[in-house]
Structure formats: C-alpha cells, structure tokens
C-alpha cells in the first residue's frame, strides 16, 4: 500500500471471523490473560499514587471522618428513628407519679398517665413541650439505666454463686439502702434518719383554742400572710388581733360606727383593711392599732374588701352593687365598676394582681381586668342560684364559689366550666366563707349553717372531716398559710373564734 510506512499497527493482529473460528478458544484465553495483567498493573499504580497522597495529607490535616456535619460520638444502638417524637401533644409540666422518677434526673417529657392519682382532674396549664425529640440527655440516661441493669444482673449471678458454695464479693449497696443507713454523729452514735414529709390521706383536726371576746357575731377571720396573727371582725364594730399559734389576745381595733363584714391583711402583715356597714373602708396599722385612712365613696353597706398582692390597691364590694378600686397611698377611688345588679358579696385579686373576681346575689361571677376595668368573663350556673362567696385558687387558674343552694363549686374560668361540686353542708341563708387548704393535703374548707366546719377532698369531693364545737352558724373560716391550722368564727349565739390544729 502507499501509506504502509505511516500506519502504526496494533500489538496484536486482528483476526477475521473465519480465522477466529479456525484458531478456536486458545487465542481468546491468551487475550483475556493479557487484559487481566494490564488491569492489575494499572490498579497497583493507582494504589501507589493514593498511598502517596494519603501520606502527604496526613502531614497537613486530619483525614475526613465519616458522616460530614454529624457528631463523631457513636450513638447507642437503641437510638430511635430520625424524626420520631415522644409524648406528642402531652404537657410536660404535670408532675410525675410518686416513685416513678429515676435517680438520674427528671424526664423532659411526661405523659398524663404519669400524673399522681391525687392531681387535679382538670387540665393543667402550659401545653409546651409536646412532641419533643429524643435528647442526648435522655439517651445518656437510658444508657446509664442499661448499665445499672447489667450490674444488677451481675449481682444476681454473684448471689447464685454464693448459694452453690463459691465465695463471691459482697454486692454493692443500692441507692435506697444507702438512704436508709443511719447517719453517724460526731460522738460515733447513730443519728435518727430525717423524717419524710407526710401527706395525710384524711385530715385529723382537733379543737385547740376557743377565743372569746366579741360581743356580737363574728363575720370574718383571716390569718396574716406571715402566719403570726389572726384577725377577727365582728358585728360589734371591732377587729380583734390574736396570736395565731396559742390564741393569746393582742389588741382591739376600734373606730367604725357600724358593724364589720370583712377584714383583710396587706402582704407584709403590717396593715389591715376593714369593710363596714358605715359605708366606709378603713386602713389600720397593726402595731399601733390606729386608723391610717378612711376610704369614702360607697353609698351603701360595704360587704367585702381585699388587698392586691403588692398592697398598693384595695378592692371593695358593696350593697350599692358596685366594686371600687382604691389607691392605698392616697386613699382615693381610682375606678368604679358597675359590677352587678344586686349586692356584691365577695371580691378577690388573682396572684399577680392583674384581675379581680366578684360575685353577687344576682347569680353572676365576673372576672375583671384591673387596668382597663373591662369585664373579661361572666360565669353563671344553669340554675342561677345567688352566689355568696368567690375566690381564686392559690395558683389563680381556678375559682371557688359558694352558692345559696348548699353547694360549693370549682370552676375553670377560662372555659366557664364547672369542674367539681362539693355538697353535704347546709348553706341557704348566710354568706358562708370557703377556702383552700394546701398545707397538709388538698382540702376544700367551708363553714355551715348546721354549726359545723366541713372539709372535702379536692379531687373526689368526698367529705373527709366534720368539725363540731360551735353552737351557731359557722359563717367564716380561714387556713393558716404554712401550718395545718384552721380558724372559724360563729354568729350571735356563739360569738367565738375557734382554732383547730392537725398534728
């Protein structure tokens, strides 16, 4: 050919189909062996290049680790699938059941089933924390629990060895056993273990003191916030102060020209305010017993009065069907609420002082914004009985009301739903006080027209105790802020204040 000198022939001659058929499989096997040799040579050269690159990179920086952007710590094998949630929609501010908390910290999520039996059946606030992801804290706690389980299994193995006659080391003490071990005192003697806080299943209040001195029926009794004093107001136009622990008489506050219907304490326990049939509210100094201010403005009997938590304002309700808000420092009325269409029988501030609750013989319970004077909520029972008393619960999420149909009711004022009803006492004529007892158990306490003090279980609404001792209608009750002490006051045929204690 003309260009044979310029053409580079391949290393292996290409056979025609006929030649390949004649030569058979021998040449095909030789071709495959040559190809595999070339591949092995290429791979060995590439591996040598990679090893050189790796050796160079080790001198400059650390090699990349698997899982870019993720934690380098190996997770336990029981890690849940990505995106799995725990307790979706549950509230985590519900306390765990007694004995269900572990030794390694409280869980960030808890279900409603974990709540103790004695927790309120009504819903708790909050609603946060639903659907939280598994956290590293929970994973660590589960791993620690697994290790504890393994150690307990080893302990059981040791016990088995001991039973078979093989000596073994004594098992380590458990946490519960350590708590039960007596504490060694400085003199080497064993000190008694600290007594755990005991919550009574049923109260056992007994009469300790009968305080006599009022000349007419007792209209209100109130413990001071510091727990040291008990104030009692009376239709005899006076307030008497008593030692809350031993019932010793201290002094009498005089100045009103009409009988008293209510008394309240300031948050620092230094001042008192009283509501009177002389249409005024008076502010008193506890130490001196002097009147500091006289608040005038109501046009009829003042029936109820209450300090706000900061003790900068007073709210008073009257037979003139209004509620007045007073500035304590100036003694001026800063707002008048046309609250009801009948006499206002009770008024009470919530815990942060932003709202007040009022009630009336018109059968209505109303929640008011203290800053704007706007009525936020009106609650009324289907049968519309006259409401004789109302107050916020200690956490201010619920209200307790008393009505003249022999019933106390616990309300969720956000929804206007009645959650619990407490019956069994007698209350169809007088405005009997009711209150919460939370120092030794969760009880509802109320006076009664059958001369007794009644205590109900907050949750199951059962009567848990009935206190006998008064000889007339028990109009007013109050519970000590820190001790298991109840005070009660009675009307004309009795005129005494009684102090009951649960040891």
Contact indicator for 121, 419 with CB cutoff of 8 Å = yes
pLDDT-derived band at 201 (thresholds 50, 70, 90) equals confident
26: alpha, beta or left? (left if phi > 0; alpha if psi -120 to 50)? alpha
Enter the DSSP assignment of 106: -
- pLDDT of 400 > 90? The answer is yes
**pLDDT, tens digit (0-9, with 9 covering 90-100), for 308-340:** 999 999 999 999 999 999 999 999 999 999 999
Instruction: Give the integer Cα–Cα distance in Å for 458 and 439.
Output: 13
Residue 3: both structure tokens together: 């260009």
Most confident of 24-28, 140-144, 256-260: 256-260
Instruction: Give the integer Cα–Cα distance in Å for 498 and 501.
Output: 10
To the nearest whole percent, how much of the chain has pLDDT over 90?
59
> What does the pLDDT read at residue 274?
98
Average pLDDT over residues 397-404: 97
What lies within 8 Å, CB to CB, of 108 at 6+ separation is: 92, 129, 132, 135, 137, 138
pTM tops 0.75, yes or no: no
pLDDT-derived band at 103 (thresholds 50, 70, 90) equals very low
Q: Which residue has the higher pLDDT, 202 or 186?
A: 202
Enter the DSSP assignment of 216: S
Lookup result for tokens 């907050």: 458
> What does the pLDDT read at residue 440?
85
- pLDDT of 426 > 80? The answer is yes
Average pLDDT, the chain: 75
- pLDDT of 420 > 80? The answer is yes
- pLDDT of 133 > 80? The answer is no
- pLDDT of 379 > 50? The answer is yes
Name the residue among 354, 427, 415, 417 with its Cα closest to residue 389: 427
pLDDT-derived band at 41 (thresholds 50, 70, 90) equals low
- Give every strand in the sheet of 355-360, ordered side by side: 344-349, 355-360, 364-369, 375-380
* Residue spans of beta strands (DSSP E) within 52-205: 85-86, 132-133, 183-184, 190-191
Lookup result for tokens 């009968």: 210
Range in 3-7, 48-52, 114-118, 495-499 the model is least confident about: 114-118
**pLDDT, tens digit (0-9, with 9 covering 90-100), for 144-169:** 455 555 555 554 454 444 343 434 44
Q: Which residue has the higher pLDDT, 480 or 69?
A: 480
């Amino acid at each position: 050919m003309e260009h044979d000198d310029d053409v580079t022939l391949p290393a292996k001659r290409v056979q025609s189909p006929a030649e390949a058929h004649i030569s058979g499989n021998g040449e095909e096997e030789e071709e495959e062996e040559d190809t595999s040799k070339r591949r092995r040579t290429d791979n060995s050269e590439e591996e040598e290049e990679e090893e050189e690159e790796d050796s160079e990179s080790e001198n400059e920086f650390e090699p990349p680790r698997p899982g870019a952007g993720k934690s380098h710590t190996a997770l336990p094998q029981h890690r849940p699938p990505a995106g799995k949630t725990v307790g979706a929609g549950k509230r985590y501010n519900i306390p765990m059941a007694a004995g269900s908390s572990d030794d390694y910290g409280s869980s960030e999520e808890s279900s409603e089933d974990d709540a103790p039996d004695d927790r309120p059946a009504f819903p708790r606030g909050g609603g946060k924390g639903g659907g939280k992801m598994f956290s590293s804290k929970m994973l660590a706690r589960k791993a620690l629990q697994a290790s504890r389980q393994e150690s307990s299994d080893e302990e059981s193995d040791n016990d088995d060895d001991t039973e078979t006659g093989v000596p073994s080391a004594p098992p380590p003490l458990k946490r519960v056993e350590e708590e039960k071990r007596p504490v060694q005192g400085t003199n080497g003697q064993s000190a008694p273990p600290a007594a755990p806080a005991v919550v009574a299943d049923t109260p056992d209040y007994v009469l300790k003191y009968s305080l006599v001195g009022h000349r007419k029926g007792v209209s209100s009794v109130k413990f001071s916030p510091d727990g040291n004093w008990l104030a009692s107001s009376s239709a005899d136009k006076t307030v008497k102060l008593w030692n809350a622990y031993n019932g010793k008489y201290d002094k009498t506050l005089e100045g009103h020209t009409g009988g008293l219907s209510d008394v309240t304490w300031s948050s620092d326990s230094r001042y008192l305010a009283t509501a009177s049939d002389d249409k005024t509210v008076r502010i008193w100094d506890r130490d001196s017993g002097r009147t500091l201010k006289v608040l005038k403005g109501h046009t009829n009997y003042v029936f109820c009065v209450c300090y706000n938590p900061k003790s900068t304002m007073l709210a008073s309700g009257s037979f003139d069907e209004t509620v007045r808000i007073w500035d304590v420092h100036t003694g001026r009325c800063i707002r008048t609420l046309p609250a009801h269409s009948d006499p206002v029988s009770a008024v009470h501030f919530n815990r942060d002082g932003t709202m007040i609750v009022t009630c009336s013989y018109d059968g209505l319970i109303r929640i008011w914004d203290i800053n704007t004077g706007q009525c936020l909520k009106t609650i009324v029972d289907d049968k519309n009985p006259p409401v004789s008393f109302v107050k916020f619960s200690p956490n201010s999420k619920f209200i307790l009301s008393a009505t003249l149909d022999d019933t106390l009711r616990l309300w969720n004022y956000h929804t206007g739903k009645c959650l619990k009803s407490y019956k069994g006492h007698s209350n169809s004529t007088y405005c009997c006080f009711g209150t919460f007892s939370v120092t030794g158990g969760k009880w509802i306490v109320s006076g009664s027209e059958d001369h007794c003090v009644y205590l109900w279980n907050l949750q199951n609404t059962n009567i848990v105790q009935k206190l006998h001792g008064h000889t007339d209608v028990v109009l007013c009750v109050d519970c000590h802020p820190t001790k298991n002490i109840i005070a009660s006051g009675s009307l004309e045929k009795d005129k005494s204040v009684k102090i009951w204690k649960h040891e």
